Each structure stands twice: as C-alpha cells, then as structure tokens.
C-alpha cells in the first residue's frame, strides 16, 4: 500500500490518496476541485487508476472534485447514504467497506455530530490503523456543530464512544488542519485535545461548543449546493 497526504491551501483541506502499487488502483478521500489537476497528475505519474472518489460529508468550505474525477477517470463516487445524493454511485451504510488492489480494505463508519450524516473511514494496513476522521475529530480540536444539522451531543458520542475506544496507536488523519499538523494518534487526542479530551463530560463539551463563536464559512452558499450534486458536471 502507498499512502499520500495532499493539501489544499485555500480551505486547508487534506485529501488522502490510498493506493495499491501492485494492482495500480487508488482511492481519493475528500478531493477538492481547486486541486483537481494536481491530483490527476499524481495519479498519472504514479500510474494509478482511480477506482473511488469518496467524501466524508457534504463540505461547507470547499467544493468536492468527485464528479469531475469521475468524468475524467471513470471512477465511482461514494459517500454517506444519509446524504441522499443521486449523483453518487455508492452510498455507505455503517460498516460497509470497499476493497481495492491486493486486499486493501477501507471500512466506512457512521460518525455523526459535525453533520448528521457524517462518515469516517478506517484503513487497516498490516498492524497499523489509519482513521480518516473528516471534520469530526480534528488534531487538538473538533469540527463545529452549529450548522448542517450538526449536534454537539452526537459529536461527543462519536468521539468518546467510537474513536476513543479504538486502539491508542490508531493514527488520525483529519480533513483539515489549520496549523499544518499532519496526523495524531488516539492516545494523544485523549490526552491533549483542547476541546474534547477523554476527561470532559457531555455538559461541559456542549457548553464549550456553544461558545465557539465561529464565523460562517466563506464559501458555504456555493459549496453546499455544489456538493449536493457531487461538485456538479452531470
Ligand atoms: Fe465540514
């Protein structure tokens, strides 16, 4: 397996490329339209066929390149079933999985809170666990819950009862980082996450989330309608 973490500057989004060099197949998680040409070039240079373009949720801060990738590479577009998008080829339910190449398995898990339909993905590679958390658990932070049917209570349950029960050495790869951190581990987030460590109770967490006072994402009015159509191109 070959794994690459790619970064889009404007929205500070991480896109993840997971590939099997033997069978020359690849998956992209949370690809961004601004970096479409870069991603196509990487696939070409690495001699990979894109099999799936996957989103963790309906993003509000950037437009997905899923539809454009399908147009160019003929890949399948996948994401949470709860989004109810007719533009997707695969709609994940909890614990569904995809396999590429030599048995590289990506499992989809329902992780609501940031949005009510949000999914994360787990990849087990030999003895390493990679967890792609989207906008649920971020490094030393977590996704906001104040729009797109978000819920601080659901996010608390997702992080505390699903993620923090995973093995401590599980590596966390979020959809964003605004401080150029690349990854963390469950163990470190339990100890050091400033919004949700493993000691905080649900009442305190909800109060913290209610007091974040964040600005509305700049692109939300463009991004959400586009992402409801997989980034468009029909
Ligand atoms: Fe988001």
Around ion ligand 1, residues with a beta carbon closer than 5 Å are: 59, 135
pLDDT digits (tens, 9 = 90+) for 168-187: 999 999 999 999 899 999 99
Q: What is the dihedral of CA 166, 159, 134, 111, to 10 degrees?
A: 90
* Secondary element (H or E) of residue 125: strand 119-125
Distance 24 CA to ligand 1 centre (A): 30
Mean pLDDT over 61-66 rounds to: 97
- Asked if pLDDT for residue 234 goes beyond 80, the answer is no
| Cα distance between residue 213 and residue 146, in whole Å | 10
pLDDT band at 57 (very low <50, low <70, confident <90, very high): very high
The reported pLDDT for the residue numbered 32 is: 98
Distance 64 CA to ligand 1 centre (A): 11
Distance 38 CA to ligand 1 centre (A): 22
Contact 166, 131 (CB under 8 A): yes
The reported pLDDT for the residue numbered 193 is: 98
pLDDT digits (tens, 9 = 90+) for 132-150: 999 999 999 999 999 989 9
Q: What is the dihedral of CA 177, 141, 81, 51, to 10 degrees?
A: 30
Q: In b/e form, how buried is each residue of 62-92, taking b as 16+ CB within 10 angstroms?
A: bbbbbbbbbebbebbbbbbbbbebebbeebb
| Cα distance between residue 16 and residue 98, in whole Å | 15
Angle between helices 36-45 and 66-73 (to 10 degrees): 40
Distance 58 CA to ligand 1 centre (A): 7
Nearest Cα to Cα of residue 227 among 9, 16, 5, 30: 30
Distance 78 CA to ligand 1 centre (A): 16
pLDDT digits (tens, 9 = 90+) for 94-136: 999 999 998 899 999 999 999 999 999 999 988 899 999 999 9
C-alpha distance from residue 160 to each of 11, 19, 37, 60, 107 (Å):
27, 30, 38, 24, 19
Looking only at the bridges linking them, the beta strands covering 97-100 and 104-110 are: antiparallel
pTM of the model: 0.97
Coil/strand/helix, residue 107: strand
């Amino acid at each position: 397996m070959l794994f690459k973490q790619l970064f889009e500057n404007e929205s500070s989004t991480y896109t993840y490329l997971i590939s099997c060099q033997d069978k020359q197949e690849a998956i992209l998680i949370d690809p961004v339209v601004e970096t479409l040409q870069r991603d196509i070039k990487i696939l070409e240079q690495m001699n990979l066929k894109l099999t799936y373009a996957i989103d963790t949720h309906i993003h509000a801060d950037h437009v997905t390149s899923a539809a454009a990738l399908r147009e160019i590479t003929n890949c399948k577009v996948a994401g949470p079933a709860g989004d109810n998008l007719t533009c997707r080829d695969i709609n994940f339910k909890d614990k569904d999985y995809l396999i590429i190449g030599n048995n590289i398995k990506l499992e989809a898990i329902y992780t609501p809170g940031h949005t009510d339909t949000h999914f994360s993905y787990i990849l087990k590679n030999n003895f390493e666990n990679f967890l792609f958390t989207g906008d649920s658990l971020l490094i030393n932070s977590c996704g906001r819950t104040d729009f797109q049917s978000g819920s601080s209570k659901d996010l608390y349950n997702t992080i505390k009862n699903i993620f923090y029960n995973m093995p401590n050495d599980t590596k966390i790869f979020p959809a964003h980082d605004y401080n150029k951190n690349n990854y963390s581990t469950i163990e470190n987030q339990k100890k050091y996450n400033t919004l949700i460590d493993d000691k905080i109770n649900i009442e305190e967490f909800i109060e913290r989330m209610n007091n974040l006072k964040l600005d509305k994402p700049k692109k939300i009015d463009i991004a959400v309608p586009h992402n409801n159509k997989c980034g468009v191109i029909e």
